[in-house]
Amino acid sequence: MIFALEPEEMGEQVQALGLARYRGQQIFQALHQAHAGGWEEITALPTAQRRRMAEAMPIEWPAIAQRFSSTDGTVRYLLRLADGAEVESVYLPDETFDGAGESVRKRTTFCLSTQVGCAVNCQFCLTATLGLKRNLTAGEIVAQVLTLLREHGLRPGRGLDRVNLVLMGMGEPFLNYDNVLRAISVLTRKEGAGIAARRITVSTSGIVDKIKRWGSEPFPRGRPRLAISLNASSDEQRQRLMPLHRGQGGMAALLAAVREFPYGSREYLTFEYVLLAGVNDSDEDADRVLALLAGARGKVNLIAWNMGPELPFKTPSDEKVLAFQRRLIAGGMPTYIRRPRGRDIYAACGQLKREVAHLPT
């Protein structure tokens, strides 16, 4: 897919089709910076060359099948891919986290999918009910980003807009590792979208061998941030909530990978913790989380469970969430509460299901 090509590869491709190699750079910039909708919009190329390229390398943008707008400004997009498969992406304007008495990290964020459905089967997540259909290609992941940039008129590569990417939508990124890696490489090119690696976060449910591989990748433009979905304070609890857990070696293997991670000088890991009322939100759970993460360089993001009509859980009270946060902070762990966004359109964390049947009327 054309969106997955690096500038140098684009040059090789167009040269093989009889165009000058430098045209590849022009095409890359037209797609990734100007968000050209088709070859007819790439006017840097002569008309005859545009026709030749349209035949040889079609530009297949994902179609926006539906968009849903929340009262808080969040927009959920249902994107239809070339083969008819559908995934969801979310636009989050001015996303805010609450920590120790203040709001921090105000930014625009795109939540992206890496698979059609998901195979991890987290019991509290609506996406899990879909099962896994297929991996997204690197080009499809890149195209999600470019689609949202084009929709909202954002140009992060020119220093005009601050855009963060979180690979936390449909799918487990580390079960589509190579395509995720390629997409990140393309998106961080300064000739294109120019999104800084530090503004990209990849979230994993805890694929231990891939966490280790991630730590050893060269990442010539910097390593994106890594988030690990913890969601439990014991092996038994995590196995019940995240059945993949046992096959990854349990808490011992996961935490060994965390402690052995080759942190950079200013690098840390994020531990995502979905709070489920009466399941994993007690004071004892908080104390166990502190013990588990002792010696890890990181912070915790707390997420009060976002309801799904088919799932047997409840959202804890605000007071319970704050109490959990205070206990972690008192134990020396930086802890933030992620404000729910887009709940009214089923765009919040764990709610993406590629359906409209459950939308409020």
- Between CA 74 and CA 71 the distance in angstroms is 7
- Between CA 272 and CA 59 the distance in angstroms is 37
Among residues 111, 118, 122, 349, the one annotated as catalytic is: 349
- Between CA 249 and CA 271 the distance in angstroms is 18
Give Cα separations from 71 to 92, 164, 260, 278 (angstroms).
12, 21, 43, 29
Give Cα separations from 287 to 149, 192, 322, 335 (angstroms).
42, 45, 15, 13
Element (H, E) at 275: strand 269-275
Following DSSP, what letter does each residue of 87-104 receive, concatenated?
A: EEEEEEEEEEEEETTEEE
- Between CA 231 and CA 66 the distance in angstroms is 31
Contacting residues for 284 by C-beta, under 8 A, at least 6 apart: 233
Give Cα separations from 313 to 247, 348, 354 (angstroms).
24, 16, 21
Judge whether 349 counts as a catalytic residue: yes
Closest CA to 206 of 264, 265, 270: 270
Contacting residues for 245 by C-beta, under 8 A, at least 6 apart: 206, 232, 235, 238, 239, 251
- Tokens at residue 108, please? 């625009």
Among residues 88, 95, 140, 172, the one annotated as catalytic is: 88
* Own/partner long-range contacts of 15-22 (Cβ < 8 Å, ≥24 apart): 17/52, 17/53, 17/56, 17/57, 18/52, 19/45, 19/49, 19/52, 19/53
- Tokens at residue 130, please? 């879909």
Judge whether 88 counts as a catalytic residue: yes
Catalytic residues: 88, 349
